[in-house]
A and B are shown apart, each in its own frame.
Chain A
């Protein structure tokens, strides 16, 4: 579903690469945590998958597309197959919960009767049934993140990327949000969630990709570190 092969990403400012020779694969229907300290390259990885940025070296394959060779005009089609959730929710303040979720479908030209069917279904999936008429500022942080998740999955994308979705939430609400993501994963959606919350990762026992200073240092599903233990310990101490 998502495959990175020897991906290196350097930003224009120079310095150390944000991602350094990363190779990994996330298969269809998986739930993967991408962990690492701030600046370790988690968000860069997410942005590479949505083709907001391109790698300096290596190749990125998502949903059967080679993103390095993908023409710009085909990027929207790629993004229609990916839902994205952010730490800061990014809801439209002047629109209700229903309107925020329906906005995506309206932008994509979905028929009105289909919108009326999909939006309540999705709000129910994320546990927001009965709150369709609320405005974002009338909701708690956890509820706002549920709206953001509903907005990301209402178009039924095969891939859901969540970039630090629990970063602004207390531990209990964070666990609820990951439970919602887990529920979505069980419907067949591939989920990749970037987080630096080790507690969440430990509690949910999913596959873990760990980045440190742009290097993939752990892929738990593969059963061992990709780098030697001493180097990883050094990186951990620095972090």
Chain B
């Protein structure tokens, strides 16, 4: 079968079964949109957690040269002696304190740049404005207040925080959104598979005479199946492109527009950006191709015996 003939058959098939093909496009779009939304929600959890979230419970931030208005920072940047004092106190709190990590100001800046790459505030932050810190992993996270109380207000210590208590609810919400979106995506993918099956059966029925002639003259199963497979592939790929466009619009106008702009609260939590949509886009396309090829091939083998 020559390419021009194949393309002609595909174009005829799409024209004659336009309504079914459009429904495959729409169902593919919705299922891949939910799948993408679930993946983006997971990415948001990962982006917002940053480097330390899952590793530690308490962070002890030292004063920087720019720390003002904090009584414990009146001496300016925390001295080496003050940092060593905190370290020896932490070591004295074992076994509650399980592990201690030190993050210098420079390391903190590098991680900040990675985590807040989509934030408009990135350019405002200089390396020396980020504090050095001790990150503490506890053997019993519920006793975090023991550590917080021990260091709060200590000279050279600007703040002691337990980030997980603040962000825990937010992440729980995002996880629910993520699981919900992926769950809906699974349902919609099942819908897409059933619809593709029905569409192929209908298209095959409308072309039964043509197919029977192809079969009798000795066309191979590949030649007979190919126009059907390409039609479904085009429809699902179009659905994937539309889903990616919708996700891009959601992130561009809904996330970046509302949160990643100055004065919009984007400085509280680092947010995903459109680059994250492009990161997932190839996988959505691969997903669309797999759904189309596998479903079409099995349906054709079952309903269009050669």
Contacts and interface: CB of A to CB of B under 8 A. Distances in A.
B214 interface: yes
A99 to B, nearest CB: 11
Interface string A144-157: 00000001000100
Interface string B205-218: 00001101111111
B212 A80 contact: no
A76 B306 contact: yes
Given A107-B5, A108-B217, A109-B1, 19 more contacts: A73-B220, A73-B221, A75-B306, A76-B219, A79-B215, A79-B218, A90-B209, A92-B213, A103-B213, A106-B2, A106-B5, A107-B1, A107-B214, A107-B217, A108-B1, A108-B218, A112-B2, A151-B213, A155-B217
Nearest to A111: B2
A79 B216 contact: yes
Nearest to A80: B218
B216 A84 contact: yes
Given A92-B209, A92-B210, A108 B219 contact: yes
A96 to B, nearest CB: 14
B213 A104 contact: yes
B2 A90 contact: no
List 7 A-B pairs, minimum CB-CB distance, nearest first.
Answer: A80-B218, A79-B218, A106-B5, A76-B218, A76-B220, A104-B217, A107-B219
Interface string B78-109: 00000000000000000000000000000000
Bin the interface of chain A by size: 20 to 34
A173 B219 CA distance: 31
Interface in B179-236: 209-210, 212-221, 223
Interface of B: 1-2, 5, 209-210, 212-221, 223, 306
Interface of A: 50, 72-73, 75-84, 90, 92, 103-104, 106-109, 112, 151, 155
A90 B212 contact: yes
Contacts, number: 52
A112 B3 CA distance: 12
Nearest to B1: A109
A83 B223 CA distance: 18
In terms of DSSP, what is the predominant structure of the interface of chain A?
A: helix
Contacts of B212: 90
Nearest to A75: B306
B218 A77 contact: yes
Contacts of B210: 92, 103
Contacts of B2: 106, 109, 112
A155 B5 CA distance: 17
Contact of B213 (A50, A80, A82, A90): A90
Nearest to A106: B5
Contacts of B5: 106-107
Given A76-B218, A78-B218, A80-B218, A107 B209 contact: no
A65 B278 CA distance: 55
Contacts of B217: 79-80, 83, 104, 107-108, 155
Contacts of B215: 79
A107 B306 CA distance: 14
8 contacts: A76-B219, A79-B216, A82-B218, A84-B216, A92-B210, A106-B1, A107-B5, A107-B223
A114 B209 CA distance: 25
Contacts of B220: 73, 76
Greatest chain B CB density within 10 A among A90, A108, A112 is at A108
A97 B244 CA distance: 46
A72 B215 CA distance: 12
A151 B221 CA distance: 20
B113 to A, nearest CB: 58
B13 to A, nearest CB: 13
A50 B216 contact: yes
Contacts of A151: 213
Contacts of A82: 218
Contacts of B221: 73, 76
A49 B294 CA distance: 33
Nearest to A90: B209
Nearest to B212: A90
A107 B210 CA distance: 10
Contacts of B213: 90, 92, 103-104, 107, 151
Greatest chain A CB density within 10 A among B209, B212, B217, B306 is at B217
